[in-house]
Structure 1
């Protein structure tokens, strides 16, 4: 008797795989909603949490400095949670990260003002961001390997793209809620209590993500073999000792992508406010529209990479961000259409990186050290270059040299482009070992 075919989803993926996609993606939505809410609401809560000064940029700089500090916990999360995922499985690691993120969001929601608590206010804010940074670093290590390992043959690019589909949904929810609050509340109410509402929402929906992830199926065969005593546990830095070239390669692959991503999807509204006096509420609306466009692009570009390969996509991205940031940001005005056009054009090329980032990183390492091998160097690079992008852009503006920021982006993009052309081999047809 013939074996009945697996039930298929409307896009031709077995429904069991769709459940895996949902488990990783919905939890990731929660993670990134909480993470990005901080960035979108910085201009509202920074004057409340930090002491007042004559220069209104100083509290914003302080808040972005803590934003960067949160990023520097991401490598530690990538290392520790990545090693945990390699030893005990992806599912257990993803459960841990979403609990951490919910706790960090709740702590942000109850952060006292500087007027009420003095120096304790920025200390609580910093602690919350450290917790979230640890969670996000671990989330990438566990969830991206889980996504790629769950993919059917020839669909790793498509499955990889859901890393940023879910990230963008979380960002959209954060941006949309921030825009809704900014447009419906008086500015005084937004400054006093309105900015706390999204953090409360993030803490609540973390529980939903936790429930959904309980239904996921483990993807790491090594974790089961370790549990049975059939193989030894991977050591903490085994990925670096055995595969140093691949770890270095991930750094080169990621440098341009992380700066471009955090500039174009997170910092650009603030950049427009600082440099062309763009309206706060309008900048959030533009960002929301552009993010919807960006999200739709991800699976399309992921499927394209499954056909033409990863290298052509990355080279296209690298060349675009080497050549375009200076003229694009030079065209920016306080017109709604100007910011929307510039953001969408950049996102077309940025998608060539984000849609396949998880697949490229995971395809470089064997299952035994995949989570830590992909998670740590990626998170370290994001911390050094992505997390500091808003801080560098704001500091250059404060120093009167805002025109240097797009050149900074182009220089880093050129470095990654050279890596894509001369050091990266095509991996789309290689089986996951």
Structure 2
């Protein structure tokens, strides 16, 4: 009798232990409009025969532990399948395999799912505990940035984590694609992108999506890395050779975040450094030889400052310019000589005898007779006319005696002029 009791207990324990349902995975996330697979196996005592199999989803107001059956997702009696899941499910329909596939999932499909089977006995009914929790990822993907800084500011050298996810969950079973400024990052294939020591090169806009899929994040997120000015250099406009007299502009260029708030310009002359400006641009209106010096600029923001490399300006005077200057000087000199000659020619030449004590000037009226005669060769062929002209000369203070009347100071000059008839 004792042995019979032990045998019955063993048989009962074996029978009870054989009632089981196994789910895998217990939680799953899939993209909306995709398909999801619920892996499931079940077992029962060998002397029972399964009669009905079903998958159900408790409604929101019901208990979510499987103790209350809600919407019939799948039913071996297809007439009992809920309208929301008709033609959307596929059951494995194999011995002790209760796997289920749901197509074209939507946000409303999120929730708990349970499998239940019923045998030909009123006591042979079983619902697996635990069930499977389904989350539906609603597009678009979103990128979130996590950092150890409390204020959220990211500086060079900080550790940064970028996570790709959706409104409800992230389908980790998929391979991801990451993009920086719309360019693919080949080595990044997980849902999380970790940067252990961020640098200014990591500054940019990031987005993510599933690999081999057109679904990417709707909005890019800026990884705002704060850094001091980098790659400070000087640009010269216009570029090329600098001609004397031309204008030029020096521009201080750099990469910085936040933007540069202060610029300084310096000139190196004979080993002496002098400050020459504060703006981003330094202009020279008319370049000359005195501008042949070395220059550099400094860019500064809240994170620090950096100097540019030193550049040397070389202002050239072209041969063409020298020729024009020389030709202009020669032309002006020649014009001055010509003008001086014209002025000299217009001034009459006069010869004056300076009075001396030995030859005092005449002071009395003199009678001057002057005969102007034609040359002997022309007297034979032409008639000679004699014209007398009276010329009045000013009175003289000379002590010489007068030849004519003392009362008349007029000097009479008789001049014989001859001309051709």
Where on the TM-score scale, by shorter chain, does this alignment land: which range?
under 0.3
Which has the higher relative contact order, 1 or 2, with Cα contacts under 8 A spaced 6 or more apart?
1
Q: 1 or 2, which has the higher helix percentage?
A: 1
Q: 1 or 2, which has the higher strand percentage?
A: 2
Greater gyration radius: 2
TM-score by length of 2: 0.19
TM-score by length of 1: 0.19
